[in-house]
Amino acid sequence: MNTKQKTRHVPLRRRAALRWTRVSVASGLLLSTIALSAPWPGFRGLNRDGHTTESLPRVLPPNLTPLWRRPIGHGYAGVVVVGTNLVVLEDAAGKEGARCLDAVTGRDRWTTPYGEGYSDEFEPGPRCTPLIDGDRVYVQSCRGEFRCLNLADGKTRWRFHFEDFGAFWVPDRQSKIGAANRRGHSGSPAIVGDRILVQVGSTNGASLVAFDKFTGRTLWKSQEDLTCYSSLAVGLVVGRTQAVAATCEGLMAVAADDGSLLWRVPFRTGANRNCLTPMIESDTVTFASHTTGMRRVRIEGSGASLKPVPLWLNAQLKLNLATPVAVGSHFFGLGAAKDFVCVERDTGTVRWSQPGFDAMASVITDSQQLLVLNDRGELILVAVNSEKYVESGRIQACGKTFSAPAFSEGVLYVRDSREVSAWRLIH
The 10s digit of each residue's pLDDT in 15-49 is 333 333 333 333 334 433 333 458 999 999 999 99
Listed as ranges, residues in the chain with pLDDT below 50 are 1-36
Evaluate whether 248 touches 178 at the Cβ level (below 8 Å).
yes
Three-state DSSP at 76 gives: coil
Return the closest-CA partner of residue 223 out of 185, 255, 192, 191. 255
- The ranges of the chain annotated as CATH 2.40.128.630 are 1-165+406-427
In CATH terms, 1-165+406-427 corresponds, of 2.40.128.630, 3.30.930.10, 3.10.129.10, 1.50.10.10, to 2.40.128.630
Distance CA 241, CA 424 (A): 36
One-letter amino acid at 306 equals: L
What integer pLDDT is reported at residue 37 of this predicted model? 57
What integer pLDDT is reported at residue 304 of this predicted model? 80
Distance CA 207, CA 67 (A): 42
What integer pLDDT is reported at residue 303 of this predicted model? 81
What integer pLDDT is reported at residue 3 of this predicted model? 38
What integer pLDDT is reported at residue 80 of this predicted model? 98
Return the closest-CA partner of residue 349 out of 363, 372, 330. 330
Residues 6+ apart with CB under 8 A from 259: 208, 210, 220, 221, 222, 223
Sign of CA dihedral 343, 43, 99, 406: positive
Taking phi first (over 0 means left), then psi (-120 to 50 degrees means alpha), and beta for anything else, what does residue 134 get? left
Task: Please report, for residues 107, 126, 350, 396, the alpha-carbon distance to residue 359 in angstroms, rounded to integers and kept in the order given.
Answer: 32, 19, 19, 17
Evaluate whether 30 touches 46 at the Cβ level (below 8 Å).
yes
- The ranges of the chain annotated as CATH 2.40.10.480 are 322-401
CATH code assigned to 322-401: 2.40.10.480
Task: Please report, for residues 109, 121, 155, 242, the alpha-carbon distance to residue 135 in angstroms, rounded to integers and kept in the order given.
Answer: 14, 36, 11, 25
What integer pLDDT is reported at residue 32 of this predicted model? 35
Chain centre to alpha carbon of residue 49: 8
What integer pLDDT is reported at residue 134 of this predicted model? 97
What integer pLDDT is reported at residue 122 of this predicted model? 83
